[in-house]
Homo-oligomer: A and B are copies of this chain.
Amino acid sequence: MRGNSELRPLSMEIGVQLHADGSCLVKLGRTHVLCAASLEERVPGWMKGRGTGWLTAEYGMLPAATHTRTDREAAKGRQQGRTVEIQRLIGRSLRQAVDLSALGERTLTMDCDVLNADGGTRCAAITGAWVAAALALRSRGLEAALVRQVAAVSAGIVETGEGRRGPVADLEYEEDHLAAVDCNLVVARPLAGGEAALVEFQGTGEGRPFSRAEAEALMDLGLAGCERLMAAQREALG
């Protein structure tokens, strides 16, 4: 059995989407997310003429990515609330990686599509999207706009079930289901050197409220987990 702070087996394959400016297929156990970065020479209307760029993100799940088939959002004509919430989180997180002034009047769009879902898809999406963004900026000679490395991991407090117990990192779907408390942590480290710090901490007591001590234990797990993810990101970029 995995240790409480251990992540699932991890791989990152780059260049999977042939037309994208950057792409990365991230696999964390049975969670597989395809991330692409597209750099376009335009900004949204409300940003025109300011000389700075924008970064936005979209998230989706293939209908067959889940245990029982999920309705296709394009066919229903409406994104679910969960989807909207996740893509806002990805966008906010990745905007911490990029210096939008250095980007110029360009938009970097991150597309994160889940091919297989087994818990932690939003965190895997952020981690993979950072690799795709880095590749896209490099391929266009805009490395200078990349100012922080960003990764994300989930953690939670599991009180029942047969597997790991207590505060554990990188929850699978089954663990997530059993967790009394779960959270998503996004961590950033300046590329110019310096400490890793939190970009987002979203902790939720779905089963019961949680104490400050528990929140701190989850932060510890998250910061450690992101260290390991960041090593893998650097390796994927070569």
Residues of A at the B interface (CB closer than 8 Å) are 16-20, 23, 30, 34, 36-38, 40, 58, 60, 62-69, 72-75, 77-79, 81-85, 87-88, 92, 96, 109, 111, 113, 115-118, 148, 183, 187-188, 195-206, 208-212, 215-216, 219, 223
- When distances are taken between beta carbons in the complex, the residues of chain B under 8 Å from A96 are 205, 208-209
Q: Is the CB of B62 within 8 A of A75?
A: no
Q: Is the CB of B198 within 8 A of A201?
A: no
Q: Is the CB of B64 within 8 A of A38?
A: yes
**A17-B115, A201-B202, A209-B197 known; A75 vs B79 contact (CB < 8 Å):** yes
Q: Is the CB of A199 within 8 A of B195?
A: no
Which residue of B23, B92, B201, B205 is within 8 Å of A199 (Cβ)?
B205
- When distances are taken between beta carbons in the complex, the residues of chain B under 8 Å from A67 are 19
- When distances are taken between beta carbons in the complex, the residues of chain B under 8 Å from A212 are 198, 216, 219, 223
Q: Is the CB of A36 within 8 A of B18?
A: no
Nearest opposing residue in chain B for A23, CB measure: B64
Top 6 nearest A-B pairs by Cβ distance? A197-B209, A36-B64, A73-B74, A38-B69, A20-B64, A81-B84
Beyond A19-B67, A36-B63, A58-B75, list 20 extra A-B contacts (CB 8 Å).
A17-B115, A17-B116, A20-B64, A36-B62, A38-B68, A72-B111, A74-B78, A77-B78, A81-B85, A81-B87, A85-B85, A92-B204, A188-B205, A188-B209, A198-B210, A201-B203, A201-B215, A212-B219, A212-B223, A215-B219
Q: Is the CB of A19 within 8 A of B78?
A: no
Q: Is the CB of A64 within 8 A of B19?
A: yes
- When distances are taken between beta carbons in the complex, the residues of chain B under 8 Å from A58 are 63, 72, 75
- When distances are taken between beta carbons in the complex, the residues of chain B under 8 Å from A65 are 17, 19
5 CB < 8 A contacts A-B:
A17-B64, A19-B116, A20-B64, A58-B63, A64-B111
- When distances are taken between beta carbons in the complex, the residues of chain B under 8 Å from A30 are 18
Among A36, A78, A200, A209, the most chain B Cβ lie within 10 Å of the Cβ of A209
